Amino acid sequence: MNTVSVDLSLDQITRALRKLPAQEKIALWRLLDKDLDRPAIARQFTVFVNAIRKTYSHVSEDEVMADAVKATRQVRKARDAKSRS
């Protein structure tokens, strides 16, 4: 049996996957989903969230919400401007 080796970047793989029909994307997603280590992902997520909380513990919730509202408005404004063009 012959072995084939292909060297593709993540960007090249992503572009190829985007061209797949929906059913093939779903089949691929199901296949890859079985390989996920969900407990490890959950642990890593918890570590990141705790690090963020620790880093920004001096920032009040009001400041965070104000920034979130501001960012949401900016994104919506940019999205609306893009949809008009």
For 40-62, the pLDDT digits (tens) are 999 999 999 999 999 989 999 89
User: What CA–CA distance (Å, rounded) separates 35 from 32?
Assistant: 5
What pLDDT is attached to residue 4?
Answer: 87
pLDDT band of residue 82 (cuts 50, 70, 90) is confident
Q: Is residue 12 a part of any domain in this protein?
A: no
Q: Is residue 54 a part of any domain in this protein?
A: yes
How many domains does the structure of the chain reveal? 1
Nearest to 65 by CA among 54, 55, 78, 56: 56
Q: Is residue 18 a part of any domain in this protein?
A: no
Q: Is residue 49 a part of any domain in this protein?
A: yes
pLDDT band of residue 1 (cuts 50, 70, 90) is confident
| Of residues 64 and 1, more confidently modeled | 64
Domain range for 47:
38-84
Q: DSSP assignment, residue 59?
A: S
Q: Is residue 74 a part of any domain in this protein?
A: yes
Q: Is residue 11 a part of any domain in this protein?
A: no
pLDDT band of residue 10 (cuts 50, 70, 90) is very high
Q: Is residue 67 a part of any domain in this protein?
A: yes
Q: Is residue 4 a part of any domain in this protein?
A: no
Q: DSSP assignment, residue 20?
A: S
Q: Are 29 and 40 in contact (CB under 8 A)?
A: no
Residue positions counted in the chain? 85
